[in-house]
Structure 1
């Protein structure tokens, strides 16, 4: 898994120089002995010279900025693998033109701790990978660093970069409103204290990394394009000097020259920053991201990850991570989409907040596993379709709590693991097993985005319904995501998954209660090719003395055994009890079975390929089977419906 534990370095001292915003201007070399030469040619600025070291070429610039129509052309040769450029003047870089590399297939690294803004006209023509960062150093292993300030031992900076150091207490920000793309199979990376991406990022077949990093941290890279960890390291200024820069915070950055660049960000009168048209605040440490197309993609926020009307498509794995909250929204005009050919992984340490129901398109789709992880509530108002296991977990790898106010549908080609659920009518269908905690259904799904072709459309949209189906051979709501070959080695998150028989259901208490007049207890449908186990099943209506409502129907259909540890109850204070049907290829083991209404009870039908035993609550005293008029646990001698049972073994009740 990705280890995103955070620890702070000792303070690096007070910073003694204010950062200034750079106007988009011709590129100026730094007079520090690095040897960078700038040769203007109209609107094109050729960048050459520099200091070579092995396969690397280093540049040092006083300022770096581009107006629309201008070109920064980094000259390379076939022997240069990496071009690494630092901007040392303390000005943020406003880039609204083209950055390109010619003469070789070099990767390009651009480092400016003061911050960077890519405008709507910003673009790339880089044959290799591209990295933009507000780090204060790029590491090559050991104590060998390409420092943003001060001297460098260039002859020791050989091989490929493998880490980034962020020594400032609040690292600078990167804002991208442009269309940044690299060639097929190459990587694209934006790392800063905050990253606001409202444009487009594209790395077909390659890796995209967008990461907001806490101050005084080091990012280690273990695999190309993937952040492994944030680590504590001592300050690594080789001269022991205070860094001569303080990065602007987001409001200051936007109120300066960035105000001339369209960023979809608005500074409010109170100094806070909002994403235009959404009302969502953007703070230091946040990542805001719009469109991403890649082979694999990783978005990681030190604070919140805010995804509004975003479109993410990867042929491989997609990871969306936040130390605080992952927040996802769509709109009537623009859907949200997270589509991964491999696994899809969401982790918000404090919360996951999803409301993406304005379009009938399934917003979360994966060819492999889909995993949502949080120690807070996982709020999932969306449809989910996974080509592998579907897991909702806490940070310890145990089943996580799930809430949904409107419209959850989960379709899985594999197993499902959930914790407790509270919310609207729920449907979970899986080719494998389903494991969950307590389930409470509070509302029908009234938003209307369940496909009308779904066989449970009517009950989900009109009642407090629960539908769990395990061991299906054909899913009703499967998304068309072509799976890729996922690296073997099991799940990437250490989940604690129950060991259930194939195609089985195991849940806690089930409640589909209604307390509203003239409504009803919701139907419960549990279907599995294997075993079905639940603590109890209650579907009932309890309203005002002048109101009425019916108990819901209960259907439990298992190819194996049915085990209900206590009661199965369909009850109403004023109306009809629901029908209860239980069919098992094996045994039926339950305590009481009751369908009771003040008017009359419903049909009760039990069919077992083994025994029928109603002693789960008390191994000595048989339980009761009621279908009658009366009150809970008591018949008043009124009308009930038929009670049918058939078993291949004995029946005891």
Structure 2
């Protein structure tokens, strides 16, 4: 910007100086020209015309015109060591030749820079332009003899120290209507082409308030540090390819800069750099204004950083409405009002994407044409914050009329929103949404891993503003107005999903049309907490607006995961009951959907819930299949508050634990209660936890509770805290054979209940020291002893002590002689009869 200002001062006028390496002339004669200049002559070869200058610039208000003798390309190089400042008009007369301006030192376009030509325009700080048979070099100005063999240029050779390109302007004067459409009637382009390609290729490229416009055509911006940028001939103009580039530099759009290709048939925008930055209301726009199909917006970069807004107050809008005249920084492709063509497609392929301070990426339709797809592929995406007029976010939209009403609302359908990323963070009210505010149906929203689904993370947390002026961080697919079309499906595939502090993932309807389904597949899911906008969770709602009798049904929620945790009031809910405290929202008349969850482990704590609530219809069922399902002060419930029958709950688990006032309930207010069917191997239930299927009409309208376990349903048994009484430790011996006695087993212990089996008991062992004599008497036993008779030694309880022949004390029983097996059987039978 400084150079542009300086160039307008006396003594800083731009001059054009011919270097003499080509037979270039200027109409006024001589090698130097200032002010208005007409360039003629040059070297013609293979459909190209070459010019070479030591210095090249255009003064403010001046015009420099190249004469086209009927060639395809006019290629101009600057071989000196000064940058080019263009602050006037560059023109080509006599034909539709493409104009190339090459200066490796740098090129700056001032506020007064303009273009007037019938072909493409390339401004580049490349060090040469390549052909199949040679190169037009800017570093070796004597190498011109080979030009006689060249024809179509194939590439721009950019050096490691390529100069920068800057385009200055006064801002885009865009603003957003309340219906989310962009008003662009006040745009004043700085550099504009009506045919072909407008391209800026060099080192760092900066647009400071500048507006680049190529209605229905192509704009390419490439920031390269080293390598060859390929030139790909198209029907009109060129595309750029970057297969031969080693490293990239940065592209920056600042202070309401704009790149726009909107037209009856929208054109194409392509940006390639290391870091691409859009801030202060800067934007890329490709609007379809007619009945032809739209073009596309493509950004390829290591980082795409989009932040902030611009505020523009045109003279015809009163100051009191100034808060509506806001332009978010972002990327936009839409079918504008009155157009019937399909919308342009947005393709972003970046390493890191950041949206902050109200910045947006949006593809939509505001007419009868269908919106184009919006595809984002990134290693990481962060969407943070918002503004009173709207949140930061990524949106696929079917728009309403300009006044927000149904008359004139879009009838086209929304495009699909596809996001592939390894890390997705939505914070402080950031949103991703595929919604319809018009008569058309919303598109589907798909989020999945970019490279490896096993290493992905999606986190949705927090909110911005207050209810009525802000909103929660959310991923949303919904029908958003009473007259709107159906909502789309929302599908998420990730390794970890975290939804915290009021964040929400939602499908829903605020209309007579149905909401889409919500499908989540993740290895680990954690839902926690809430805020003023509602509880964190997975939601599908069918809500009415101002009691209009809307009967759209909510979608189904399907979850597949290894581990699911809900904490601090988090919820998974299908409902037609509003939340968040908006007084204009009332319960919808349509049925709620169903919840289906398949998991290995589910843990619900501290007021969390799985709920299916409905006024009407026969749905709102919950089905859970899990290895372990644990509820701690939480609930699983279906609740019919209108005439609907209570929904059913089916739990198929290995272990079901209900503790601390947890509830499983299938209830109804004005009809029969639902059914609770539980299949479980283990049921642990505290006395204050309940399983019910009731009706407010009375017991005769109660539902059914059916609990199936391998064993009878266990009763609550108090844990024994006192030692067993001594009386229970006394076992009566067989009265037919001996007297009563008291036996204390010591360390071996007894079971608490004498009738139980003793699982383990220590045996008596003779631990007296062995004498040498006793050792000598030990002899090996035969491995296969031969039985001699059916007699066995009698076994009886010890009755006393005696000393044997060796003087040792031994225990003796009441019987010391051999006893036959029949005698033992007789003894046993006596004990049984005595018992």
Q: What is the CA deviation profile of residues 432-454 of structure 1, one whole-angstrom value per residue up to 9, with x for unaligned ones?
A: 4512323212233xxxxxxxxxx
Indicate conservation of the 8 Å contact 1:588/1:613, yes or no: yes
Residue number among 52, 55, 59 corresponding to 2:51 in the alignment:
59
Query: How many residue pairs align between the two structures?
Result: 506
Of 115-124 and 400-409, deviating more is: 400-409
Q: Equivalent residue of 1:154, what SS?
A: helix
Alignment match, 1:354: 355
SS in 2 for 1:512: strand
- Distance in 2, matches of 1:332 and 1:35, equals 45
User: Does structure 1 residue 156 correspond to structure 2 residue 149?
Assistant: yes
Q: Which residue of 2 aligns with 1:203?
A: 214
Distance across 2 between alignment mates of 1:519 and 1:195: 42
Structure 2 CA distance, aligned partners of 1:519 and 1:414? 25
Q: Name which of 113, 116, 130 aligns with 1:125.
A: 116
Q: Call closer, same or farther: CA 1:51–1:188 in 2, change over 3 Å.
A: same
- Structure 1 residue 292 corresponds to structure 2 residue 259: yes
2 CA distance for matches of 1:475 and 1:171? 56
Say if 1:433 and 1:580 are closer, same or farther in 2 by CA, change over 3 A.
Answer: closer
Per the TM alignment, residue 578 of structure 1 is displaced from its structure 2 partner at its CA by 3.9
Cα deviation, residue 206, structure 1: 0.5
The reply to whether residue 319 of structure 1 matches residue 367 of structure 2 is: no
Q: Which digits, 9 at most, give the CA deviation of each residue in 1:31-56, with x for residues without a partner?
A: 11443435379831001111112322
Partner in structure 2 of residue 467 of structure 1: 506
Quick check: 2:433–2:445 contact (8 Å CA) kept in 1?
no
* Unaligned stretches of 5+ residues in structure 2: 1-6, 170-188, 262-266, 288-294, 312-326, 334-342, 365-370, 386-391, 397-413, 435-441, 450-456, 462-472, 478-486, 542-553, 576-590, 665-682, 696-701, 710-835
Contact 2:536/2:570 (<8 A) preserved: yes
Residue in 1 aligned with 2:203?
193
Q: Using the alignment, how far apart are the partners of 1:292 and 1:60 within structure 2? A: 30
User: 2:557, 2:635 → 1: CA distance?
Assistant: 28
Q: Is the 8 A contact 2:57 2:84 kept in 1?
A: yes
On the 8 A contact 1:512/1:521 being kept in 2, the answer is no
Map of 1:448-459 to 2, 5 A cutoff? none
Q: Are 2:527 and 1:512 equivalent residues in the alignment?
A: yes
Q: Report the 3-state secondary structure (helix = DSSP H, G, I; strand = E; otherwise coil) of the residue aligned with 2:148.
A: helix
Going from structure 1 to structure 2, the CA distance change for 1:644 and 1:562 (only over 3 Å counts) comes to: farther
Q: Secondary structure at the match of 1:368?
A: coil
CA, structure 1 residues 284+218, in 2 after alignment: closer, same or farther (shift >3 Å)? closer
CA contact (8 A) 1:588 1:610 kept: no
Once the two structures are TM-superposed, the CA of residue 223 in structure 1 deviates from its matched residue by 5.2
Q: Which of the pair has the greater relative contact order for Cα pairs under 8 Å at 6+ separation? A: 1
Alignment of 1:80-479 (within 5 A): 80-140=71-131, 142-149=132-139, 150=141, 151-152=143-144, 153-159=146-152, 161-166=153-158, 168-178=159-169, 179-198=189-208, 199-215=210-226, 217-222=227-232, 224=234, 225-231=238-244, 285-289=249-253, 290-294=257-261, 295-315=267-287, 316-323=295-302, 325-331=303-309, 333=311, 334-340=327-333, 341-349=343-351, 351-357=352-358, 363-365=361-363, 367-379=371-383, 382-386=392-396, 387-394=414-421, 400-411=423-434, 413-419=443-449, 420-424=457-461, 425-429=473-477, 431-437=488-494, 438-444=496-502, 464-468=503-507
Higher Rg? 2
Query: Matched residue of 2:104: which SS?
Result: coil
What's the counterpart of residue 481 of structure 1?
Answer: none
- 2:16 aligned with 1:27: yes
- Give the structure-2-normalised TM-score: 0.54
Kindly state the Cα deviation for residue 581 of structure 1 after the two structures are TM-superposed. 2.3
**Contact persistence 2:555–2:593 (CA under 8 A):** yes
> C-alpha distance in 2, partners of 1:174/1:157?
27
Corresponding residue of 2:551? none
User: Hey, what's the Cα distance between the residues in 1 that align with 2:49 and 2:646?
Assistant: 76
After TM superposition, give the deviation of residue 625 of structure 1 in Å: 7.3
User: What is the TM-score with the length of structure 1 in the denominator?
Assistant: 0.67
Once residues 428 and 163 of structure 1 are traced to their aligned partners in structure 2, the CA distance between those partners, rounded to angstroms, is 44
Offset from partner CA, 1:14-34 (integer Å, 9 cap, x none)? xxxxxxx99542211111144
Pair 1:39–1:302, CA change in 2 (3 A): farther
Kindly provide the CA deviation profile for residues 309-346 of structure 1, in whole angstroms up to 9, marking residues without a partner as x.
Answer: 212211421112223x2111113634213112322122
CA distance in 2, matches of 1:475, 1:311: 34
1:79-123 CA-to-partner distances (Å, cap 9, x unmatched) read 222111111112100111111111112111100111111111111
Question: How far did residue 513 of structure 1 move?
Answer: 1.2
* Secondary structure in structure 1 of the residue aligned to 2:565: strand
Aligned partner of 1:17 in structure 2 is none
Which of 524, 541, 544 aligns to 2:538? It is 524
Instruction: Give the unaligned 5+ runs of structure 1.
Output: 1-20, 234-282, 445-463, 477-501, 542-549
Q: Aligned with 2:57: secondary structure?
A: coil
